Structure 1
Amino acid sequence: MASSGLQLLGFLFSLVGLAATVSATFMVEWKKQTQGKTHRIFDGLWKSCSGYERTTCEPYQSLLKLPNEVQATRAVMLLSVFLSTVALLISTVGMKCTHFMDSKPESKATTAMIGGIMFMVSGLLTIIITSWYVKMIVDTSQNAHHLDNFEFGKAVFVSWAGGLLTMAGGSFLSCRRCSRSESKESISGNHLFPTTNQTSNYV
């Protein structure tokens, strides 16, 4: 029961991490820029917003004209979401609380481990690309004009949280020892307690 609980906890962590990664991918506030005291510009991976008290948003018209960090971050975040989605389906088949592959416990445990590893890779990709994007913003801010203020926005923190949760959930799901514990307990229990169908030699 304990290992099933860990698998379920890992699945929930990974599910929340996937939701946070998807949200961060489509959020606008990846980079904030302030010109003067009132004019604000928010740059996301898909569109840019600008204005004073109220901002208006416009999607990017050309992919080739985007900065390299935006193109790379967009591609890796979409890859991370794709891997997590596939891992979600694989983990559902391999978890003990589902009835898929019940006749093959060894294959079922391997399937859950594969899903967990895919979740861990997905979370690691999210953390790496987000950290690299932040580094690019810091470098841009250091080389910018003193009237322009660059900083990273809320989407960066949401992306980091999504990556960490996805990796944590994947580590629980990929625990091979946890996947086998219940089967070992049942086998050892069968050896300790003999069946009642044995015939007695006493009259």
Structure 2
Amino acid sequence: MANSGLQLIGFLLSLVGIATTIAATLMVEWKKQSQGKAHRIYEGLWMSCSGNERTTCEFHETVLKLPTEVQATRTVMMFSIFLSAVAVIVSTVGMKCTHFMDDNAKGKSTIAMIGGIMFMVSGLLTIIITSWYVKMIVQTFYQAHRLQTFEFGKAVFISWAGGLFTMAGGAFLSCRRCSRSEPSPSTRVNHLLPTTNPKSNYV
């Protein structure tokens, strides 16, 4: 069964990953565009901002008018956060440092492993959709005129970091210590006892 210290490290790493993923999802700098020396345009999954020293932001009015990469990234990121939230509940039940299911150690360990796998899937989804988003931005950058295209921003790197932290935490949670089961003392005593009664010689 997994070490409780290892589980705690994995759980904390997963929490850091969730917080980082949520921050990246809410950030506005998923892609950026420079017009001149001072004017900047930023676009995120939920809003866009533009301006010089003072920037003004507004939420996206309709989902249907958004680019495909924004719609897909927003959906997958929200699903990843939801899956991580469920994994937090499952892992809390299965961790050794909690008092849930203390009478069923094997089932408790299995639940912790399931929570870790859910964290790993969540982190993997975040990394995949972020990488695909970057790929779409790069393709558009080289196909169109450079003055009319966007570059990917800081939120991309934060999203990658969140996915890696979540995956690492899930790996720690789902890790099990492989060790051979030693026979119990009663079993060892039984092996030392003779199986048949020796015959007694009477004079």
Give your verdict on TM over 0.5: yes
Residue 116 of structure 2 corresponds to residue 119 of structure 1: no
Cα deviation, residue 150, structure 1: 2.5
Checking the alignment, whether the CA contact within 8 Å between 1:35 and 1:148 is kept in structure 2 is no
- Structure 2 counterpart of 1:173: 173
My pick for the range that moved more, 143-152 or 23-32, is: 143-152
Residue 100 of structure 2 corresponds to residue 100 of structure 1: yes
- Structure 1 counterpart of 2:32: 32
- Structure 2 counterpart of 1:128: 128
Task: Please list every run of 5 or more consecutive structure 1 residues that lacks an aligned counterpart in the other structure.
Answer: 195-203
TM-score (normalised: structure 2) = 0.86
Give the SS at the match of 1:147: helix
- Structure 2 counterpart of 1:3: 3
For 1:21 and 1:34, the matched residues in 2 are separated by 26
Give the SS at the match of 1:40: strand
Cα deviation, residue 37, structure 1: 2.5
The root-mean-square deviation of aligned C-alpha atoms, in Å, is 2.2
For 2:101 and 2:85, the matched residues in 1 are separated by 20
Task: Please list every run of 5 or more consecutive structure 2 residues that lacks an aligned counterpart in the other structure.
Answer: 189-203
Larger Rg over CA atoms: 2
- Structure 1 counterpart of 2:57: 57
Aligned residues: 189
Cα deviation, residue 154, structure 1: 1.1
Checking the alignment, whether the CA contact within 8 Å between 1:24 and 1:155 is kept in structure 2 is yes
Cα deviation, residue 148, structure 1: 3.8
Partner AA of 1:23 in structure 2: A
Checking the alignment, whether the CA contact within 8 Å between 2:140 and 2:149 is kept in structure 1 is no
**Between the two proteins, what is the percent identity of the paired residues?**
71
Partner AA of 1:122 in structure 2: S
For 1:22 and 1:190, the matched residues in 2 are separated by 48
Give the SS at the match of 2:69: helix
